[in-house]
Amino acid sequence: MTMIGVLFQAEDAAAVAEFFELFKTPWEPYVAGREYDVVITTVSEVPEIDARLLLAFESDKCSLDDSLGLRPGLKHAAADLELGAAQVPIYTGVLTFEEIGDVQACALVDGQVAGVRKEFEDRFVLRLGYDLFKETGRLLQRGQPLEHAGVPSLDLHIDAIRRWILEAGIPLAEIVPVPAGSRFMVCLTHDIDFVGIRYHRFDHSMWGFLFRATIGTLRRFLRGKIGLKDLGRCWAAALSLPFVQVGWLKDFWLPFDWYLDVEQGLGATYYLIPFKRRAGDKVSARHPERRAAAYDVGDVSEWVRRLQEAGCEIGVHGIDAWHSVEKGSEERQRIGTVTGDSNAGIRMHWLLSDADTVRVLEDAGYDYDSTVGYNETPGYRAGTCQVYRPPGARRLLELPMHIQDGALFFPQRLDLSEKAAWELCSRFIQHARTHGGVLTTLWHDRSHGPERLWGSFYVRLVSELKGQNVWFGTAHEVTEWFRARRCVTFERCRGSDGAERIIASCHGTKPERPFVVRIHHALRETTGVRPHNSWTDLLWTGETEAELPARAKLERLFSGVI
């Protein structure tokens, strides 16, 4: 089985390691003189390499260019790269070529060649005009701008590497980013900013609700955004407000029973406010005082118990944890006094973060964070559907957030119709079906009721996901499964017969759900066997070592010899 040799610049070591946690396939730093089927390099001076496939990434002139007949041309600071059918934004520089000789183009930028493929008698060389690992580091460190939010860039880079290896006729083993028996994972999350309108008497939240439920919904009705039934429901809620606040009628902002009924044991994650009436420090957005919540976790202790009994997770909706280790620890402990568990994950209120947030959260004792996402639009901020370790972290993992209700429907955001929102969400579902990983949704506390009325869309979304053969896991369960996958290592060894083998071992956390070891069979056309789109899946619990099938055995097996 293929062990990939990787030759990279020292400053990119962390990005290389994280790339191969996401693309979980056997790899090692390149060792001169050692035999490799595949070598990936991002250095400008490429040594003599004897490999069946050489993938050379460099956004400046490379020592291979002359031997391939390439003349470097324009270097773009950033560009959209055509990789087959995919359009992938590149942020750290793309080199195009003015002349390409007799090689085949495999990547384009605005019609200019940015990558070539050359086949020799017994090997392939691909020269790409960008730096794969600097792209990886940039995506995980800074994320993507809004204009590229909908592009899963990092997942597409992984897909391209996998495809180029298979097209070269080289089989590949991979631990796919989804547990056995599921197409992908889904994490249903709820940020609980409000737990009832009865907590808001004559404040901006109450007056804002009355305006939106009456004048606002009338405008939406006249624009054709809602129907007469929804208009009536909002006006009825506004009229009932005095009776709700004195306790005579049910509070239509109370979220928990509605979500429990819709999700029916799917195990959602609720991020609760640790301290009421704290707006937090260093808040630069407009009206920072409005960030203070009128409730805290102590006001809903009975609901916490009921949610936990239903298999749900309680996390921290952080106030100051993003910039203060002391306050972050205090917030975690406050939630723990009610949940009975001092370990917790976090999502920051208003998605606040800065360059030091990862270090601060880790020092404050959090297991994972789920703040990386957009308020303005659904998207892949880090370019992936996978849980990852952000740069600078030692143990903290990041669960990216992809689909948020407010981004879809707020008039100040995308303000989509339900039809347009469904088309957008369907693209995210299709990507998860194809690439695995986890699709993380965020539906807020008030979104099911008046005046937002986004509940019916959520019911449809959950129903669609339930029909996709997915694993619904809490944020903690999903991140712990990925943590176990990160514990897998691959090592070369030689058997008693002298043949080299690759052994997979899981050191540390074992997965609650088995891994899938996917053996991609990509044999050359000359064997008479289809070269790609064929694989075998093997279940592995991680309890014992697993020997990956040798290449020769695969060739005999899939040419019909055994």
CATH number of the CATH domain containing 456: 3.20.20.370
The CB-side HSE value for 20 (13 A sphere, CA atoms) comes to 20
CATH of the domain at 30: 3.40.50.880
Residue 349 is which amino acid?
H
How many domains does the chain fold into?
A: 4
Q: Are strands 471-472 and 185-192 parallel, antiparallel or unpaired?
A: parallel
Instruction: Give every CB contact of residue 269 below 8 A, 6+ residues apart in sequence.
Output: 187, 188, 189, 190, 312, 313, 314, 315, 345, 370, 474, 475, 476
Instruction: Say if residue 235 is in the same domain as residue 273.
Output: no
Per-residue DSSP letter, 374: -
Largest CA distance in the chain: 83
Structure tokens at 247: 């306790």
Using an 8 Å Cβ cutoff, are 380 and 400 in contact? yes
The answer as to whether 303 is a domain residue is yes
The answer as to whether 62 is a domain residue is yes
The answer as to whether 418 is a domain residue is yes
Contacts for 9-15: CB closer than 8 Å, 24+ residues apart: 9/42, 9/43, 9/133, 12/42, 12/131, 12/133, 12/134, 12/137, 14/137, 14/391, 15/133, 15/134, 15/136, 15/137, 15/140, 15/391
The answer as to whether 461 is a domain residue is yes
Q: Give the three-state DSSP class for 24.
A: coil
- Among 482, 500, 521, which residue terminates a domain? 482
- Among 438, 460, 482, which residue terminates a domain? 482
Instruction: Say if residue 202 is in the same domain as residue 341.
Output: no
Please tell me whether the peptide bond between 121 and the residue prior to it is cis, using omega within 30 degrees of 0.
no
**What's the rounded Cα separation, in Å, for the pair 157 and 87?**
10
Instruction: Say if residue 264 is in the same domain as residue 230.
Output: no
Angle at the Cα of 294 (from 290 to 295), degrees rounded to 5? 135
The answer as to whether 181 is a domain residue is no
- Among 175, 210, 233, which residue terminates a domain? 175
The answer as to whether 165 is a domain residue is yes
Contacts for 97-106: CB closer than 8 Å, 24+ residues apart: 97/65, 97/70, 97/71, 97/72, 97/73, 97/129, 98/71, 98/72, 98/73, 99/69, 99/70, 99/71, 100/69, 100/70, 101/68, 101/69, 101/70, 102/69, 103/68, 103/69, 103/70, 103/127, 106/164
Instruction: Say if residue 234 is in the same domain as residue 269.
Output: no
Please report how the helices 132-142 and 153-167 are oriented relative to each other, as an axis angle in degrees rounded to 10: 160
Instruction: Say if residue 148 is in the same domain as residue 190.
Output: no
Instruction: Say if residue 458 is in the same domain as residue 540.
Output: no
Instruction: Say if residue 144 is in the same domain as residue 40.
Output: yes
Instruction: Say if residue 60 is in the same domain as residue 126.
Output: yes
Instruction: Say if residue 416 is in the same domain as residue 496.
Output: no
The answer as to whether 11 is a domain residue is yes
Per residue of the chain (562 residues), give pLDDT as tens: 689 999 999 999 999 999 999 999 999 999 999 999 999 999 999 999 999 999 999 999 999 999 899 999 999 999 999 998 899 999 999 999 998 888 899 999 999 999 999 999 889 999 999 999 999 999 999 999 999 999 999 999 999 999 999 999 999 999 999 999 999 999 999 999 999 999 999 899 999 999 999 999 999 899 888 999 999 999 999 999 999 999 999 999 999 999 999 999 999 999 999 999 999 999 988 899 999 999 999 999 999 999 999 999 999 999 999 999 999 999 999 999 999 998 899 999 999 999 999 999 999 999 999 999 999 999 999 999 999 999 999 999 999 999 999 999 999 999 999 999 999 999 999 999 999 999 999 999 999 999 999 999 999 999 999 999 999 999 999 999 999 999 999 998 876 666 778 999 999 888 999 999 999 986 554 444 444 458 899 999 999 998 887 654 544 444 333 2
- Confidence (pLDDT) at 2: 82
Range of the domain at 246: 198-250
Instruction: Say if residue 279 is in the same domain as residue 230.
Output: no
**What's the rounded Cα separation, in Å, for the pair 410 and 440?**
19
The answer as to whether 180 is a domain residue is no
Instruction: Say if residue 130 is in the same domain as residue 80.
Output: yes
Instruction: Say if residue 393 is in the same domain as residue 406.
Output: yes
Q: Give the three-state DSSP class for 246.
A: coil
